[in-house]
Amino acid sequence: MGLLTEGSPLSWEDTKKYADHVRKHGIQQFLNLYHKRQGRTKDVLYWGDEVEYQLVKFDHANRRVHLALSTQDVLKKLKENAEKSDHESRAAWHPEYAEYMVEGTPGKPYGGLVAHFNVVEANMRRRRQDIQSVLNTDEAPLSLTVFPRLGAGNFTDPPYTPNPESGASRSIFFPDEAINSGHPRFKTLTRNIRERRKEKVCINVPVFKDTKTPSPFTEDFSSMDDVNGEAKRSAKPDHIYMDCMGFGMGCCCLQVTFQACNITEGRLLYDQLAPLCPIMLALSAASPIYRGYLADIDTRWPVISQSVDDRTREERGLEPLKEDRFRISKSRYDSISSYLSPGSFCYSDIDLTMDTEIFDTLVNGGVDKMLARHLAHLFIRDPISLFGENINQNDEEDTDHFENIQSTNWQTMRFKPPPANSNIGWRVEFRPMETQLTDFENAAYTVFIVLLTRVILSYKLNFIIPISKVDENMQTAFKRDAAVKKEFYFRKDILTESSPSEATKCSSQCRIECCVGIDDEYRLMSTNEIINGSDDFVGLLTMINTYLGSMECDVETQCTLQQYLRLISKRASGELKTTARWIRDQVADHPEYKQDSVISEGITYDLLKKVSKVSQEETEPSLLFSHHTMTKETLPPAITNTEKYLNKKNPGPRPENNTASTTNGFDEDGCC
């Protein structure tokens, strides 16, 4: 989950003293890097996924399942095995927030060959096998977003008792032993977020009101060492209350990073994918249960956002500003608040809290205003973990202070500058998605996003809508069954004449004259319409298939890609369930379930046994289709809506020469 610096962590009081120092040098480090690397161009497409897993241990005799706190041992063995292996597809392993989590990425990023789409799933499958090979037979790695009874009673193996008096999180539910013990960063972040906020974090998500759920739904925390009655005060009626970072950062997600050919393309892709974040969050929804209760939300997003919210009462607007500098409208873990390309200015319609001194330093240092706004916004935050050995740095060579603030802004998209002393280019990370149960699904969602970036570049697609509407969509995306029951603001015409990176009609002064009419550019659509198209909207799959039609692509890869696109298509149309809906239905059908929203240990055991089986066998008709059997002969025709759409549109959508060409990332040398 970001930068891991070695050394001794400072207390919050000491970290705070160095906050200005870290920000000042962090920005200087960015400026130095920017001037060295902004002109860098012709980088090739590289890309890779990150999949997070939870390690679980089954107790079959007693029908129980717990989170196995074994990541230190597991990671050590995985890394040793990876070093020994000379296999091309070996994985890279990374620690994550919890002592029951591991993160796996491909050992090397994938490149600009279409055939690479055909190795993602095999690589993911091998990663799962690699983890399984160092576990006992009663243990399993699950790519499940949230453990249903996280923080409910004894949920770890071995069991530990929370320490609300003096633990790093002070949680009454989540013992510090469940936080990664291998690096001090994780506990330090936990403690410092709490100390900066001056109280424990407070997470409330609505409970799902089933026929026998008490109304109002309230919990009695009196037997739980509820220090000063904080839980009693903080828990909202009809909500599931949680009280520490682990409830959010202890969830698993699926992320995709790709390298742009230069900074301009990186900024463009960052902007273009931002409106897709809520859509993909809804389509990947996989987490309807928290702390042993069915919730009325389907994704982890509101939980993780509240779980690291280090804003003080002043910053949250609950008290007048006295000690703090800004009112801040969002948690450090939230959706992005501004676009990056000059032509997207009109659409960055949220009042952006910025450190104006930092903004001036950047602009005086030669950075344009859109990029300066982005950074001056990220840098309103304090560093929340700092290591004594790391305070004084060489700003010409090091980037740790920059990375310190950058990597603790956990937003839907991340713009990643080239790391110091590396040959890596400007990269963009797509971060909203939840992990799916199987390698097939995780590969499908990953490939879908990477393909979309190629299509955006090739056809100069434009998805930009006002960023306030993207935020409204985020609020919709985590609701129960949002993927099929809700509608999202989406751009009516994505085949516009020019890409916003080129349209510099707006400057920061002219919002009023230039920005008129943008409210006519979008309307509400279902995910089905966005993905599969309608008479009035081309649909993303049509664009992807048109693009694939223009590519040289071997039959095997074509089959694989069509299966992936079909999964996304069927999730959007509702023909296949989201993981969240599937989990809800498993619970509803369980004989132990009493329609009271309670997820017992027995239900959790059966659910996770089923999850483990599905993740190995990859057959579950309501969630997946039988993709193993698809061959060239049985492959259905590609989903395409082009004719229907083109006939309606006057004039035609794109000039002839605007087909997949030099910017598709799949040229012979893979260079844009």
424 binds, among Mg ion, ligand ADP, none (CB under 5 to 8 A by kind): ligand ADP
Nearest Cα neighbor of 580 from 606, 562, 607 is: 607
Whole-angstrom CA distances from 99 to 94, 158, 343, 605 are 12, 11, 44, 20
* 50 belongs to the binding site for Mg ion (CB under 5 A): yes
Task: Give yes or no for a contact between 338 and 467, defined as CB atoms under 8 angstroms apart.
Answer: yes
Q: Which of 127, 427, 460, 627 binds ligand ADP (CB under 6 A)?
A: 427
Applying CB under 5 A, the span of 45-53, 464-472, 485-493, 575-583 interacting with Mg ion comes to 45-53
Nearer to Mg ion (CB atom), residue 1 or residue 470: 1
Residue 571 contact, options Mg ion, ligand ADP, none, Cβ 5-8 Å cut-off depending on partner type: none
Task: Select from Mg ion, ligand ADP, none the partner in contact with residue 539, using the beta carbon and a kind-dependent cut-off of 5 to 8 Å.
Answer: none
Q: Which does 49 bind (CB under 5 to 8 A by kind): ligand ADP, Mg ion, none?
A: ligand ADP
Contact status: 49 vs Mg ion (CB under 5 A): no
| Shortest Å distance, C-beta 125 to ligand ADP | 16
- Rounded Cα distance, 672 and 662, in Å: 6
What tokens appear for 618 in the block?
């990859």
* Shortest CB 253 distance to Mg ion, Å: 7
Among 255, 259, 562, 612, binds Mg ion (CB under 5 A): 255
Count CB neighbours of 24 within 10 A.
16
Question: Residue 109, interface with ligand ADP (CB under 6 A)?
Answer: yes
The residues pairing with 103 across neighbouring beta strands, listed in sequence order, are 52, 94
CB proximity list for 629: less than 8 A, separation 6 or greater = none
341 binds, among ligand ADP, Mg ion, none (CB under 5 to 8 A by kind): none
Smaller CB distance to Mg ion: residue 247 or 537? 247
Helix orientation angle between 356-364 and 19-37, rounded to the nearest 10 degrees: 30
- The dihedral built from the CA positions of residue 24, 29, 30 and 32, taken in this order, carries a sign that is positive
Options 103, 271, 309, 398; binder of Mg ion; rule CB under 5 A: 103
- Cβ of residue 413: shortest distance to Mg ion, in angstroms? 11
Q: How many residues does the chain have?
A: 672
Question: How far apart are the C-alpha atoms of 359 and 352, rounded to whole Å?
Answer: 12
Select from Mg ion, ligand ADP, none the partner in contact with residue 106, using the beta carbon and a kind-dependent cut-off of 5 to 8 Å.
Answer: ligand ADP
What spatial distance separates the first Cα and last Cα of the chain, rounded to whole Å? 30
Among the listed residues 9, 106, 151, 539, the single contact to ligand ADP using CB under 6 A: 106
Q: Should residue 123 be labelled a site residue for Mg ion when binding is judged by CB under 5 A? A: no
In this structure, are strands 156-157 and 64-68 parallel, antiparallel, or unpaired?
A: parallel
Output the six-digit token pair for 178.
Answer: 């469940």
The residue number with the shortest CB distance to Mg ion is: 255
Q: Does 270 interact with ligand ADP (rule: CB under 6 A)?
A: no
Burial class of residue 340, CB neighbours in 10 A (0-12, 13-18, 19+): buried
The CA-based angle 51-52-53, given to 5 degrees, is 120
CB of 106 to ligand ADP, least distance (A): 5
259 binds ligand ADP (CB under 6 A): yes
434 contributes a contact to Mg ion by CB under 5 A: no
**Contact window for ligand ADP (CB under 6 A) among 102-110, 208-216, 555-563, 592-600:** 102-110
Residue 296 or 429 with smaller CB distance to Mg ion: 429
Q: Does 105 bind ligand ADP (CB under 6 A)?
A: yes
Residue with tokens 């809508």: 465
Of the two residues 257 and 348, which places its CB atom closer to ligand ADP in the complex?
257
109 binds, among ligand ADP, Mg ion, none (CB under 5 to 8 A by kind): ligand ADP
48 binds, among Mg ion, ligand ADP, none (CB under 5 to 8 A by kind): ligand ADP
Asked if residue 562 binds Mg ion (CB under 5 A), the reply is: no
Minimal distance, residue 174 CB to ligand ADP, in Å: 23
Give 255 or 361: the residue with its C-beta nearer to Mg ion. 255
- Please name every residue paired with 102 in a beta bridge, in sequence order, or none if there are none: 53, 95
Q: Which is nearer to Mg ion, 1 or 193 (CB)?
A: 1
Nearer CB in complex with ligand ADP: 106/162? 106
* Beta-carbon count within 10 A of 617 CB: 10
Question: How is residue 407 written in tokens?
Answer: 């990597």
**Residue 418 binds ligand ADP, judged by CB under 6 A:** no
Cis check for the bond before 106: say yes or no (omega within 30 of 0): no
Per-position b or e across 160-196, b if 16+ CB within 10 A of its CB:
bebbbeebbbbbbbbbbbbbbeeebbbbbbbbbbbbb
Q: Judged by CB under 6 A, which stretch of 56-64, 398-406, 421-429, 543-551 contacts ligand ADP?
A: 421-429
**Is residue 219 classed exposed, middle or buried when 0-12, 13-18 and 19+ CB atoms within 10 A define those classes?**
middle
| β-pairing verdict for 427-430 and 254-259 | antiparallel
Are 476 and 277 in contact by the 8 Å Cβ rule? The answer is no
Note whether 48 binds ligand ADP by CB under 6 A.
yes
Check if the beta carbon of residue 174 is closer than 8 Å to that of residue 247: yes
Nearer to ligand ADP, 539 or 665 (CB): 665
Footprint of Mg ion on this chain (CB under 5 A)?
A: 1, 50, 103, 255
- Residues in contact with ligand ADP by CB under 6 A are 2, 46-50, 94, 105-106, 109, 255, 257-259, 424, 427, 429
